[in-house]
Structure 1
Amino acid sequence: MLTNGQYAVPHTPCDRAHVARARLESIDAVRGVVMILMLLDHLRETWLVLVPMPDPVDASTVLPALAIARFAASFCAPIFVALTGLSAYLFSVSHSRGETTAFLVKRGLLLMAIDLFYLSPLYWGVVPQPTFWLQVIWCLGLCMILLAGLIRLPRSARIALGLVLVCGHNLLDPIRLHQGDTLFPIWALLHQRDVIALPFGFIAKTTYPILPWVGVMLLGNAIGPWFNRAVEPSQRFGRLTRLSALMIAAFIALRTLNVYGDVPWHIVENSVLRTAIGFLSMTKYPPSLLFLLPTLGAGALMLALFERSGNSRLISALAVFGGAPMFFYLFHLTVLRLLYHTALAWWGPTDGGVFMVDSYGWVLAWYAGLIIPLYLPTAWFSRLKQRRRDIAWLRFF
């Protein structure tokens, strides 16, 4: 299929099947990368939860290792949300609009319920008050429900709305509402990371305000036609690499100008490393324009390169891993929380949190030890999904 580094035009059914596999496998492989990075971030969060940590976006005080790991983990949510929009388009190619709408609404409601009634209670007993953490799964679910209605718009309108939300939402940053204000709960869900008081002593934390994430999902959905079977791989590769270069160049230009898109950065005296950390430390909650430009740009580049790489063992392994993203998400968080509560019950709080972990090196050690045990069940479930397409509920995971 590759001739002098270029994709040949597929002429035979075998060639076309190979191209189709590479096209779809690249999407799952990028999800696999996201899941691997996600595990590192969640391990840090779990093991060091009781250790006092400096502000992760304060370049003058943050641990360099923590800053680097945080930047790596920054790619997870934007790429995953964009791929959700892309996957919704690919689903719609072989299903009617009504079927696509129903699927998005059903899965969206399921994701929101999982976040409220399964993931949030995992943290009860760690935080001092029962909290509903409206995190990425809640955000994905709500965005999917909104996308179910927005897919009725023309593609040009979806692109325009996505760009307005992604590029323009930072203009809303000065608007701050407070508990007791009439629209506070709605604004906290849309754009202001905050705490909403609930009856019976519960609270909800809007960790992922959805306004910019809706824009990301819309843009992911809008590039769906690039992945149609009729589009030649070389053409898709060119579009994705140009898009990636444009977003990364826009990030460098805007971040250098220091006038819009995130909180300003500054030069840290006598430290090139900390200056670079400040340049790359952007706001995630909600995601700023400058947070989204390089992360989505990297995602577009990975999609292009992974498809160009063909059926390599690494890409295939990542694709199997990324074929069951929801299973992995629920499985690894459950394992980490069980380990945490076991350690807490056995030793109690220590100066290092739990497992006497008091440095980031221990986080990396646990990461190396857990990645294979977590990969194997996820790969098994992913292959089960491929074999048993007759089981409808499997596709939700």
Structure 2
Amino acid sequence: MTAVSTFSASTGAGAVVNKSRIASIDIMRGLVIVLMLIDHVRERFYLHMQVSDPMDVPNTDPALFFTRLSAHICAPTFVFLTGLSAWLYAHPSRGGVRSPSGFLFKRGLFLVLLEVTLVNFSWAGSFGTFWLQVIWAIGLSMMALSLIVKCPRWAIGAIGFAIVFGHNLLTPVGFQPGEFGYSLWTILHDRGFLLDTGALRIKISYPLLPWIGVIALGYFAGPLYARTTDAFARRKTLVAMGLGCLALLLVLRGFNIYGETLPWVAGETALQTAMSFVNFTKYPPSLDFLLLTLGIAFLLLAWFENRQGKLMDVLEVFGSAPMFFYILHLYVLLILYQIVIAVAGPNHGDLFGVDHIWWVWIISAALTLVLYFPTKAFARFKHSTSMGWVKYF
């Protein structure tokens, strides 16, 4: 979220983002953006090797499994940091307190509109089925948070914890199409078609309820980045949070107690056993999924504190203009794929796909380099302009 701080012009190769911004947050966003790019390249050029949710361990190549697994950190990190940044918006560094409700609602509505227009078109180059995915989920979560922030902070934390730790109890609840409650439950918890007619098809890919819990926890954690919080104390707290999440995961998952509908099993090899252990449901994100991804995110946030270097500068640039990068990379992938189809033609049924997952990483590395320059230019423009609408990107 752009409200973390402001931009001021400065010189030097890596000085696109004003250091009054919280660099570790932008660096963290930048890292997950790069991981997201890899996953979206996979969906464009390796879709003939599809993965299920959770993944089919015995029939999934380990390189593909861990490529997909690395992208799992993206959505929880984005949503958590959105909540955290909402707290920072409400408690600006210059002092005073302001309500974030209006900004959250408008920003959330803007994201929902982006999802059903620019984002949906970017996936197929046309409007057919409307896939309501991560941007839709973040947008609605922000709109929900715009109401939740009216509660005391302790209540916001309680709501977040109750949803994140309790929503797996709702797994047995289900509705069939046409039954009363099906539409609401499809939006909140069960992935499926909200509407499926000949003229209009709407598919809920990101059930909403767990993400409301994550964004509420992000807001609850906001004081970690208050101007009065000591950086060393913040790092200690983040490390404790990260290790706590991973330790709880080891217990819950190790004994298959709670938090994931698919139990882990011993595989034919140690690697397959490890893959089974970290094979979690993303749609909706199970408790174990969130413990793993947020646990890693907390440790990385602690590690990024006061980190410097060219790599950190690059990640910080990506993280300072995330929505611009998100839309840009989707359309670059759309155009690139259409060019490849026109030149080489499909080689896997109706699809074109590369022969090995290594090519996904190579293409992603090249696109990361190419997209850095327009993202850097937009970040400079975004943080220096007075045009309010630009801040939404």
Q: TM-score, normalised by structure 2?
A: 0.90
Aligned 8 A contact 1:340 1:354 in 2: no
One-letter code aligned to 1:266: V
Seen in structure 2, the aligned counterparts of structure 1 residues 22 and 74 have a Cα distance that, compared at 3 Å, is farther
Tell me the residue number matched to 2:219: 221
Shift in Å at residue 366 of structure 1? Answer: 1.1
The CA distance in 2 between the partners of 1:348 and 1:204, in whole Å, is 29
Helix, strand or coil at the partner of 2:202:
strand
**1:331 is matched with which residue?**
328
1:250 partner SS: helix
Residue of structure 1 equivalent to 2:103? 103
Secondary structure in structure 2 of the residue aligned to 1:196: strand
Corresponding position of 2:14: none
**Mapped contact 2:241–2:298 kept (Cα < 8 A):** yes
Give, in angstroms, the shift of residue 353 of structure 1: 6.5
Structure 1, unaligned stretches of length 5 or more?
Answer: 1-19
After superposition, what is the alpha-carbon deviation per residue over 1:376-396, rounded to whole angstroms, capped at 9, x for unaligned?
A: 1112111222222x2211211
Return the offset for 1:217.
0.3
Q: Report the Cα distance in structure 2 between the residues aligned to 1:125 and 1:230, rounded to whole angstroms.
A: 48
Change (3 A) 1:248 1:353: farther
Helix, strand or coil at the partner of 1:260: coil
Percent pairwise identity: 42
2:79 is aligned to 81
Q: In structure 1, the residue corresponding to 2:58 is in which secondary structure?
A: coil
Match of 1:208 among 188, 203, 206: 206
Structure 1 position 182 matched with structure 2 position 180? yes
Letter in 2 for 1:234: F
Residue aligned with 1:123, SS? helix
The one-character-per-residue Cα deviations of 1:115-171 (angstroms, maximum 9, x if unpaired) are 001211233468xx9111110000000000110010011111111110110011001
How many Å separate the matches in 2 of 1:355 and 1:179? Answer: 34
- 3-state SS of the aligned residue for 2:327? helix
Per the alignment, in what secondary structure is the counterpart of residue 195 of structure 1?
A: strand
**Alignment-derived partner of residue 383 in structure 2:** 386
Task: Verify: 1:370 aligned to 2:341, yes or no.
Answer: no
Q: Which residue of 1 aligns with 2:3?
A: none
Aligned pairs for 1:25-104 (under 5 A) are 25-49=23-47, 51-53=48-50, 55=52, 57-94=55-92, 97-98=98-99, 100-104=100-104
Alignment deviations for residues 197-248 of structure 1 (CA, whole Å, 9 cap, x no partner): 2555221111110100000000011110111111111111111111111001
**Alignment-derived partner of residue 267 in structure 1:** 266
Cα 1:125–1:331 change in 2 (3 A) is closer
Q: Which moved more, 1:351-360 or 1:55-64?
A: 351-360
For the structure 1 residues 22 and 393, does the alpha-carbon distance in structure 2 shift closer, same or farther, using more than 3 Å as the test? closer
3-state SS of paired residue (1:201): coil
Give the length in aligned residue pairs: 371
2-side partners of 1:197 and 1:54: how far apart? 24
Aligned-residue Cα RMSD (Å) equals 1.9
Of residues 154, 157, 160 in structure 2, which corresponds to 1:156? Answer: 154
Cα distance in 1 for residues equivalent to 2:70 and 2:363? 17
TM-score (norm: length of structure 1): 0.89
What one-letter code is carried by the residue in structure 1 that aligns with 2:340?
Answer: A
CA contact (8 A) 1:143 1:217 kept: yes
CA–CA distance in 2 between the matches of 1:248 and 1:393?
39
Q: CA deviation at 1:290?
A: 0.2
Aligned residues of 2:160 and 2:216 also touching (Cα < 8 A): yes
